[in-house]
Amino acid sequence: MEPTKTAAVDSRALGESVVNRVFVTVGVYLIAGVLLLLGIGLQLTGAINNFATAQNMLNIIDAVSMLGIVAVGMAFVTYSGHYADLSVPTTMAMTGYVAVEMLKYGFFAAVAAALLVGMVVGLINAVAIGKFRANPIIWTLAVNYMSMGVIRLVWVNKQIYPDMTASTVRASQMFDAIFRLRFFGRIALPMVMMIILVIVFQFVLRKTKFGVQLKMTGAARTPARFSGINVELMIGIAFVICALTAAVGGLTVTSLNRVGAWYNGEGYDFRAVTAVVIGGVTLAGGRGSIVGVLGGVLVIGILNNILTLLGVGTFSQDMIRGAIFIVVVFINARSLRKMGRDYE
C-alpha cells in the first residue's frame, strides 16, 4: 500500500512481456497445460504410466468434480471481495442430514429440503454480511459453529442412512444415484453438474446485470453504491449462490458416503478457496472468472494425480501443494501489477 503512482502511465511503459500477457489472458490454464506436459513428459521417460489416457483424464475430473461444484459457488463470495465462506463445510453436512431425513417424503422432497437449507444459511450470511457488513471470515466461522451445534443437538452424534430413512427403495436408489448416475457408462453426474454450473455461472458473471454489478461491487464497494448499485443485494446473492452450491455439494458427498454425518464436507472451505484463488479470482475482488475457477480445480486434480502416480506420499503431496499454491498466486498477482491491471 505504498503511495500509488497516479501519474499517467502509457502502455509502452507497462511490463507487457509475453509471459505476463499470456498469463493474464489464459491464466491458470497455462499452469494446467504445463502440468499436463509435465505428466506426458514423465510418461515418456517412463517415470509414470497411463497418464495421457482418456480414462485417467476422466478420473482426474471425477476426482475434483465435487470440489468444483463447491468452488464455483465459493468463487462468487471471493469475487464479491469477501474472501471466503467458512460455513460451507457445515452447510454441506447439514444439507446431507436434512436430505436423508426428508427421504421419508420421497426423493424430490429431500432435494428440495436440502436446497432450502442452503438457501436459509445463505440468507443468514447475506443479511449479516451484505446489510450489516459483518466481517465475512469471522461471521461465516460463527455460523459454521452454530449450525454444527444445531446438527449435534438435533441428531445427537448419530449418523443416518438413506436406505433406512427412505420411504421407498426407489427413493433411496435415486438418492444413491446422485453421485453414481453415469451417462454413456462413464460420464458421472457430478461431473455433468460441475460443467453445467461452470457454464451457467460463467454466463451469469459475464453477461448478466448481476454479474457486471457484482464486479463493480467486489472491486470497489462504496463507488458501486454511489453508482446506483444495490450492493447489499449483490453481496447477498453471492453468499446465497455459495450456500446453494454448497448444498448441492453436500447432497453429492452424502450420496457418495451413503450416510448423513456431520463430518461430510470437512475441509471443503479451504480446499475450495485454494481452487478459486489458483483459478485467478483475486481476494481483492472483482477479478477472475468461473472458467478460471474450473481451471484452478483441474490444476489441483492433475497435480494430485501426477504426484500419486509418481508414488509421492500423501503427506509430501501436501507440502508440494502448499508451495505451488503460494507460487501460482504470486505469479498471477505480479503479472497483473506489471500489466498495470492492478496495484497493491
Partner 1 sequence: MNNDSKKGRGREKTLTFIDRNRIFLLFGVVFLVMALFAPRFMTSFNLTTIMRTTAMNATAAIGFTLILIVGQLDLSIGTIITFAGVVGLGLKQYIGYGGSVPIAILAGCAIGLINGLLVAKAKISSFIVTLGMLTLLQGAIYTITRGNSISLSSPDAFAVSDWLARMIIPLITPRVVITLVLVGGFTVFLRLTRVGRNFYMVGGNRQTAWLSGMDTDLYTIVAFVISGFTAAVGGVLFAMEGAAATLNLGNTSLMYVISAVIIGGTAMSGGKGGVLKSFFAILMLDVLYNGIILFGLGNEVKIFIAGIILAAVVLYEAYTRYKHDKTVGQRAELLKEVDELKERIKTAKHRAAV
Partner 2 sequence: MKRPMTLVLVLLLALALPAAVFAGGQKEAAPGAAAAAAGNLERSLAVDTSGLKSEDGQPLIILQEKQREVPSRPANPDALPEDDPLHWWDIEFAGWNANKQNIPESPKDGAIGKSIVFIVHGDHPWTTACTLGAQKIANAYNMKFKPLSPNWDLAVQNQMIDQAINERPDMILLIPLDAKTAPQQARKINQAGIPLILFNTLPSAAAMDYCITWTGPDDFGQFRMLSRVWADEMKRIHGTSGVGVAYTQHAPGGSPYFARCWGPISELSGYAPWVKTLDKQAPGFEADKTMQLVSDWLTRFGRDLKGICAADDSSQALGIFEALEKAGRRDVVVVAAGNSKVGMDLVKDGKLFAITYQTAEGDGALAVQTAADWFNGKEIPPVKYLPKHIITKADVEDFYPPQW
Partner 3 sequence: MSDQQRVVALQMKHVTKQFPGTVAVNQVDFDVFAGEVHALVGENGAGKSTLMKMLAGSYDDYEGEIWIGDRQVNLHSPAVAKANGIAMIYQELSLASPISIAENVLVGRLPVTGLGLTDKRRIVEDAKNALERVGLGHLDPDMAIEEISQHEAQLVEIAKALWNEPGILVMDEPTSALSREEVELLFQIIERLKKEGLAIVYISHHLPEVFRIADRVTVLRDGKKIATRAVAEVSRQEVVQMMVGKSIAEFYRHESHATETETLRVENLTRFGFFHEVSFSAYEGEVLGIGGLSGAGRSELGRALVGLDEVDHGMVFLHGKRLRISSMSAAMARGIAYLTENRKSEGLALRLSLRENVLVSLVPRHTQGGVYKQSLGEPKLQELIAELSIYPPDPERMMNNLSGGNQQKVLLAKWMAIEPRVLVLDEPTRGVDIGAKSIIHKSIERLAQQGHTVLLISSDLPELVALSNRILIMREGRLIREMAKEESTEEKVLLAANGEGV
183 DSSP β-pair partners:
187
Question: Do the beta carbons of residue 281 and residue 214 sit within 8 Å?
Answer: no
Q: Is 341 in the site for partner 3 (CB under 8 A)?
A: yes
C-beta of 261 vs 273, nearer to partner 2: 261
Residue 15 or 267 having the CB closest to partner 2: 267
212 binds, among partner 1, partner 3, partner 2, none (CB under 5 to 8 A by kind): partner 3
Q: Does 263 contact partner 1 by CB under 8 A?
A: no
> Is 336 a binder of partner 1 (CB under 8 A)?
no
Least Å distance, CB 59 to partner 2, is 4
Which H or E run contains 182? strand 182-183
Out of 35, 94, 121, 128, point to the residue binding partner 1 (CB under 8 A): 128
2 three-class SS? coil
Q: Tell me the torsion sign for CA atoms 97, 99, 102, 103.
A: negative
* Nearest-angstrom CA–CA distance, 325 and 39: 18
Residues 25-59: b if buried by 16+ CB within 10 A, e if exposed: eebbbbbbeebbeebeebbeeeebeebeeeebbee
Contact 302, 32 (CB under 8 A): yes
Cα radius of gyration (the chain): 21
3-state secondary structure 26-83: HCHHHHHHHHHHHHHHHHHCCCCCCCCCHHHHHHHHHHHHHHHHHHHHHHHHHHCCCC
> Which residue, 155 or 179, has its beta carbon nearer to partner 1?
155
Sole window of 55-63, 151-159, 287-295, 303-311 interacting with partner 1 (rule: CB under 8 A): 151-159
Residue 220 interacting with partner 1 (CB under 8 A): no
CA 51 – CA 302 distance, rounded (Å): 10
Choice from 1, 5, 169, 185 touching partner 3 (CB under 8 A): 5
* Binder of partner 1 out of 17, 149, 182, 212 (CB under 8 A): 149
Residue placing its CB nearer to partner 1 in the complex, 104 or 337: 337
**Which residues are at the interface with partner 2 (CB under 8 A)?**
48-51, 53, 55-56, 58-59, 62-64, 66-67, 152, 156-159, 161, 163, 179-180, 186, 188, 253, 256-259, 261, 263, 266-267, 301, 304-305, 308-309, 311, 313-315
Which residues, other chains included, contact 165 with Cβ-Cβ below 8 Å and sequence gap of 6+? 100, 101, 103, 104, 172
Selected binder of partner 1 within 83, 97, 239, 268 (CB under 8 A): 83
Q: Which of 1, 13, 153, 169 binds partner 3 (CB under 8 A)?
A: 13
Q: Is the dihedral of CA 122, 322, 81, 219 positive or negative?
A: negative
Query: Given candidates 45, 55, 157, 222, which one binds partner 3 under the rule CB under 8 A?
Result: 222
The residues of the shown chain that bind partner 1, judged by CB under 8 A, are 1-3, 83, 128, 131-135, 137-139, 141-153, 156-157, 270, 273-274, 277, 283, 313-323, 325-326, 329-330, 333, 337, 344
